[in-house]
Amino acid sequence: GPLKPEITITYIAVSAIFFNSGLSLKTEELTSALMHVKLHLFVQIFTLVFFPTAIWLFLQLLSITPINEWLLKGLQTVGCMPPPVSSAVILTKAVGGNEAAAIFNSAFGSFLGIVITPLLLLLFLGSSSSVPFTSIFSQLFMTVVVPLIIGQIVRRYIKDWLERKKPPFGAISSCVLLMIIYTTFCDTFANPNIDLDKFSLIVIVFIIFSVQMSFMFLTFLFSTRNNSGFTPADTVAIVFCSTHKSLTLGIPMLKIVFAGYEHLSLISVPLLIYHPAQILLGSLLVPTIKSWMVSRQKALKLTRQPKAPVKV
């Protein structure tokens, strides 16, 4: 179509989000985030090991139901996807959480996903096609890492201006993300061969929201335990990064792994629902999570303050 999403979305939109992040993020925050190994391990193991395994076990139960089998296979592909390169960062930023950790996990998870996601898809679903790792890797490097570095370099020269003017980075990223979702929906539902029954679609939408809520609650519980070692800001990044799945990486990967597959459109439907659902759910929860984080941070500050000596 006239929007040319194969260029504007695949390259320009994703690059814009990461250039935006590079420009808005303080360099010292990004370097300190690299050292937070425990947080990164938690996010990557949850999203690339626990998530797909839990979905596979759940689908063993759903396979006896009359739900469309290709939509169920699509649910499994959602589980295999890496963290998103945009939505988790935007929502973490909106709450005021650890944005640097969210950016690192989004970028690092995406690179891990280049290798791990196709392997998971082959393990759980099987496919005969060979996956061109080098082309996906180079595309990710050019659209994620390079814009982030350029943003950081530009920031050094206009740092004072940014501090003074405070441009609306969050709003810009949100607009770009909306454009990504719109074009992907158009691309999928423009396919004349797509054959969906309403019952299966409604049930899949319900399952997707239930899975997201359950996993967000689970990551919240794990990261707020007394001995977890995570700050409230870390918890925010963990909740969004661990439970969100990438659409911008996911759809191209599905097209590569299942090239020429007649049911590709149906398989991609759950991912197309999951992505806007995670943004909608995340946006609705932003005020609640923000108030929790602020109150928790205040409580922690009070407990750390030295008590005044009692006068006799």
pLDDT digit string, tens, across residues 196-234: 778 888 899 999 999 999 999 999 999 888 787 888 889
Q: How many domains does the chain have?
A: 1
Is there a contact between 39 and 232 (Cβ–Cβ < 8 Å)?
no
202 occurs within a structural domain: yes
132 occurs within a structural domain: yes
35 occurs within a structural domain: yes
150 occurs within a structural domain: yes
b or e along 129-158 (b: 16 or more beta carbons within 10 Å of the residue's beta carbon)?
eebeeeebeebbeebbeebbeebbeebeee
164 occurs within a structural domain: yes
Averaged pLDDT, 130-148: 71
End-to-end Cα separation, the chain, in angstroms: 81
DSSP single-letter state for residue 60: H
- Counting residues of the chain whose pLDDT is more than 70, the rounded percentage is 80
Measured distance CA(245)–CA(257) in Å, rounded: 17
302 occurs within a structural domain: no
| Phi and psi at residue 100, to the nearest 5° | -60, -45
3-state secondary structure of 67: coil
Instruction: Please report the DSSP string for 4-15 in residue order.
Output: -HHHIIIIIIHH
pLDDT of residue 210: 93
Q: What is the pLDDT of residues 155-174, one digit of tens each?
A: 888 888 887 887 877 677 76
Which single residue is written with the structure tokens 């007394």? 226
| CB proximity list for 71: less than 8 A, separation 6 or greater | 196, 200, 201, 204, 266, 267, 269, 270
How many other β-carbons are positioned within 10 Å of the β-carbon of residue 250? Answer: 24
Averaged pLDDT, 294-305: 80
CATH code at position 130: 1.20.1530.20
Which single residue is written with the structure tokens 């970028």? 107
- Domain housing 218: 5-294
305 occurs within a structural domain: no
In this prediction, residue 101 has a pLDDT band, given cuts at 50, 70 and 90, of confident
